[in-house]
Structure 1
Amino acid sequence: MVLLDFVVGIPLPKLQVPHAFKPTRDDRGWFINPIGPNPWWTVLAALVPALLCTILIFMDHQISAVIVNRKEHKLKKGCGYHLDLFVVAVMLGVCSVMGLPWFVAATVLSITHVNSLKVESDCSAPGEQPKFLGIREQRVTGLLIFVFMGCSVFFTSVLKFIPMPVLYGVFLYMGVSSLRGIQFFDRLKLFWMPAKHQPDFI
């Protein structure tokens, strides 16, 4: 779709990317003073919203971890809840001081990643669903994802040609594809499924 847009020259809104590797605002550097020109009492006033943000980030991380590590996925390696949360906490501090966006567990991305690593049986009887064998556990894809995200800083001359509808389509596909295997979505599908085809669960 990007090549088609480039060849045909359709006037679509494109991805806005910076032209140089520098802070987005000219009046700030790479590091930001946490207090800045604010009075001293703003530190005390920030405790309440900081507590709410901490709860939100903790819940987002733990919910994503519980969904990814549920027993239906047949994972064998340790889940590393505490180590993951420690890394998130450290990086939140670094991102805050540098004025960068916070990063969280990203539930949709985590589920999509797990679904992409599923291993199913190749041979099955006609009409029979492939049997789920487990998940191909590794850390290579996760590492490469973030390496390429870092390298995207040097590809701004190419990224500016990507139309926004293409990005929206990618996000929509990721969201819809991650619904497969979620128990809540499977339960909703039972409303439109004849009783004879419903799974034999309690």
Structure 2
Amino acid sequence: MREFTEVDRGVTLSEALLRHDKWLEKKGIKTTNFAVVTWSNWDCRVMLESECRYKKIRKPPYFNRWINLKVPFSEVFSGVRCNLKEAVQMAGLAWQGRAHCGLDDAKNTARLLALLMRKGFKFSITNSMFHQCTDQSLTGKQPQEHLQFPLYQPHKLKDLHVPIIQFHPHCYCGVNSSKGMVRKPGPKQGSLFFGCGNWTAARGARCHYFEWASS
């Protein structure tokens, strides 16, 4: 009953999105290379998208790509599949609040993300709403739209009680990216990079993901 009362007293979706956008501007975040982080793809791919379409609300474009924290967490923990509460506890954190409460889930997702960031993990966009085909080749020039966090040196990492793994980045299609090498003569010749995992010689890339591989 308490949860329904809180929802009834809340603002509309359009007002919430507007307040959130103004908060991003006030904090100076909106002009940076930031990303939305979720636990699963449901919130951005299905729920928010369908609600905005149904209510004819303009959805801010930064909700069109996101980091599904399930992806890096699963790779770090050897492919384990679990819910958010189990993931938080598996990472050595105590769950705070009530499971499936939107605000509490968001706070615990942020705590889990912060822990992995402090450990030096490198994050990339895992999913997006864009799946259109392009004519770009992996050996050609592609937009460098990606999100990275610095990877700490191993001797500075705190013990997470699990092997420290730098997971293979995912492209905007949500699959493992393809690794390529620059063959065109020039200063970058021989450099390795990651691109769309759905790239084929016949149709090119399906998304604009691009990231230089760490040397």
Q: TM-score, normalised by structure 1?
A: 0.23
Higher normalized contact order (CA 8 Å, seq sep 6+, divided by chain length): 1
More strand by share: 2
More helix by share: 1
Q: TM-score, normalised by structure 2?
A: 0.22
